[in-house]
Structure 1
């Protein structure tokens, strides 16, 4: 009898075609779910018949209560090697092995620049106007060359964003609590004197911090008020780093030029969510990690994880 494997949030319906599942197909039956389960009750009911679950990023929480409702579950595979929404202690207590995969920092870097450039040059607005027979040119683009790019965070993603900013001829500055001059020098950036100084002086601010107790709500109303009225904010990291109500207020009141956002407090966004209609907002549905190469890695290594587990030798264990 084959084990049953569920693949969650397979929105594009590519999980079973973008990777080779043949190494396990004689022992595992794979079912992809192209929709999102909004509640724990819906998720528990859907996953009850499955022995293995593959989940993407940190969209679907796996708390102790959910593990208790899934007695058949034996293997949980998450993309990436860190997942803050899985209760690892509860997984162990219920005999569930948790494994991860590699994840490339390149796709979120590229999306960061897609959002930043889209904001600076009014790409969506001008494209929509052109298609609708509207005015020929109605915006004046913001220049990048010679402007200041402020980076909150200079890790694997932030450092790559910094190098591209420098290639555009931007003045790149960076800040995080433990950031050093040596690290900024390596990335071709300058160390900002403080978070506040970075916010006040930057023309573009991009967030590249991990979400934790020290970064949750890092940018609230007081911090957003420091931004220039001509400044743009980009967040491809985690929504909770920015006070969402404060950001919406700043956008509606025109206190910043605009924002590019790829992450939200609720995902997928409900139909009536205010982020769907906010002015001065360029928003994408959490596409930062969504690329062909990353998906090949996620699902390809998920297959490897399943095969190793079936051999009794789990790899890439988390927790």
Structure 2
């Protein structure tokens, strides 16, 4: 009987999320909220999966002994509370549920923008205090104003759509976009943030906090902007330089700021933002609607179950490009990559310095990153003393100076195929394969030798001098040792030859040593591969 999947819920989730987890046979769920860093570190290795929101701090210390932990699901967008570098190094997949709270977060940014433009916060406070002062709170009309959006992902695009409905002019800065416009030409894209800041009346941020975005709106940028710029930040604390913001508010260069996120949450009681008359504050409410709370909880729980059961991978933060939701044809190429890497290993006696994965065929483009990673896992697990997986394999390669790259090609004349090029020492090793018409994996070339073999079962690779009697000598040696030859493929090149011998069962070490001692034999290697199964999910 298969061992149960164990999942720890370390933050308060909507009941629907926990109920979803508990609805599966074979999944054990424990809810432990409020764990300290030490408490989380002591227990997390007992679970296959961890589900958190923003309160639990999944630090490097908490992940120092990951044990059986394979995945962390963040019920929400930001993963600031998870040490991604430590998780990746430990081979732990981190996922977020960005899609589930997109509309709610975008709506809150718009609410802040509207409230800021119309002085809703201070006007409300005046009314609560018994006052009535219409002239003091004259606001600004948004129609006709220019909104600058930093980050045109799902949330940024949702904000843009709704701002366009307000008759605003919408522009955006997002270095990832390689185009002049977005949203069917309705949003102008800037490649230079400084150029955009000079052309807008309102700015809103929808990007993560990283080395590129920290303090992106600083004193220098405030000096370049139009006087009276309205600032909205419902993304991450730290994106706006707060001392520079306070100075700009005081001077009038910034007309007002609406802030939902802070570097330290909650902010200190004497934080200057709390007291400033031009600032509208909310306590990190971007995803705080009943609908979003339920959606992100259920979505995160669905993601972690899918991954731990080998059924899919959605929202991966530290393994971008990897997919398990590939079609059967693509999955066969993922499996082929694993088999080809295992066959290539005996050719890499001087270690691995560089790996190039060539994926040919338009139908394989979506699987290219998954194919690369699975090949690298097979190559590195044989030479490293620590296990690697699809999550940490690229980091492991980088740390050891191994260069990796994937090249995608589309050559209709030659059909779909896969090649691995591995630099070992001063030599480049090649292996090429494809999926045959019958749906089975086939290796078409190993190094200089043309082949047509199904890479499965026990295979003995023999390089020898191309001279009479070699086949008989090999057959006799194996027969004398009681090893039955099930199949033999031979390829010749430049006075040498390669035999790929399939045996019924694994030969003993003494058989391999005897073959190596035969005259004319240059190299012998044994590789045992799994049998071909159309039901297998190669990337799980």
Give the TM-score normalised by the residue count of structure 2. 0.50
- Whether the 8 Å contact between 2:10 and 2:33 is mirrored in structure 1 is yes
Partners of 2:303 and 2:288 in 1: how far apart? 20
Aligned residue for 2:51, secondary structure, equals strand
Aligned residue for 1:186, secondary structure, equals coil
Give the alignment of 1:261-272 within 5 angstroms: 261-272=259-270
Partners of 1:311 and 1:180 in 2: how far apart? 37
Match of residue 9 from structure 2: 6
Cα distance change on mapping 1:168 and 1:44 into 2, 3 Å: same
Match of residue 163 from structure 1: 161
Bigger strand fraction: 2
Shift of 1:151: 2.1
Shift of 1:97: 5.4
Match of residue 14 from structure 2: 15
Contiguous gaps of at least 5 residues in structure 1: none
Partners of 1:286 and 1:200 in 2: how far apart? 28
Match of residue 110 from structure 2: 113
**Higher RCO structure (Cα 8 Å, ≥6 apart):** 1
Q: After superposition, give the CA deviation of every residue in 1:40-76 in whole Å (9 maximum; x if it has no partner).
A: xx3223663454532225x655343221267686653
Shift of 1:186: 1.9
Partners of 1:290 and 1:160 in 2: how far apart? 17
Q: Which moved more, 1:118-127 or 1:86-95?
A: 86-95
The root-mean-square deviation of aligned C-alpha atoms, in Å, is 3.4
Give the alignment of 1:251-262 within 5 angstroms: 251-262=249-260
Shift of 1:83: 3.7
Shift of 1:225: 1.8
Give the alignment of 1:129-278 within 5 angstroms: 129-137=126-134, 138-184=136-182, 186=184, 188-192=186-190, 194-278=192-276
Cα distance change on mapping 1:148 and 1:82 into 2, 3 Å: closer
Q: Which moved more, 1:300-309 or 1:248-257?
A: 300-309
Cα distance change on mapping 1:60 and 1:276 into 2, 3 Å: farther
- Whether the 8 Å contact between 2:73 and 2:301 is mirrored in structure 1 is no
Partners of 1:131 and 1:88 in 2: how far apart? 45
Partners of 1:312 and 1:201 in 2: how far apart? 49
Partners of 1:115 and 1:295 in 2: how far apart? 20
- Whether the 8 Å contact between 2:180 and 2:190 is mirrored in structure 1 is no
Cα distance change on mapping 1:5 and 1:19 into 2, 3 Å: closer
Q: Which moved more, 1:24-33 or 1:148-157?
A: 24-33
Partners of 2:276 and 2:222 in 1: how far apart? 16
Partners of 1:150 and 1:165 in 2: how far apart? 10
Shift of 1:143: 0.9
Partners of 2:6 and 2:152 in 1: how far apart? 42
Q: Which moved more, 1:242-251 or 1:118-127?
A: 242-251
Match of residue 28 from structure 1: 29
Shift of 1:241: 2.3
Shift of 1:279: 3.3
Cα distance change on mapping 1:173 and 1:299 into 2, 3 Å: closer
Aligned residue for 2:63, secondary structure, equals helix
Count of equivalent residues: 307
Shift of 1:183: 3.2
Is 2:114 the partner of 1:86? no
Shift of 1:98: 4.2
Larger radius of gyration: 2
Partners of 1:150 and 1:88 in 2: how far apart? 30
Give the TM-score normalised by the residue count of structure 1. 0.79
Contiguous gaps of at least 5 residues in structure 2: 319-540
- Whether the 8 Å contact between 2:174 and 2:189 is mirrored in structure 1 is no
Partners of 1:303 and 1:185 in 2: how far apart? 32
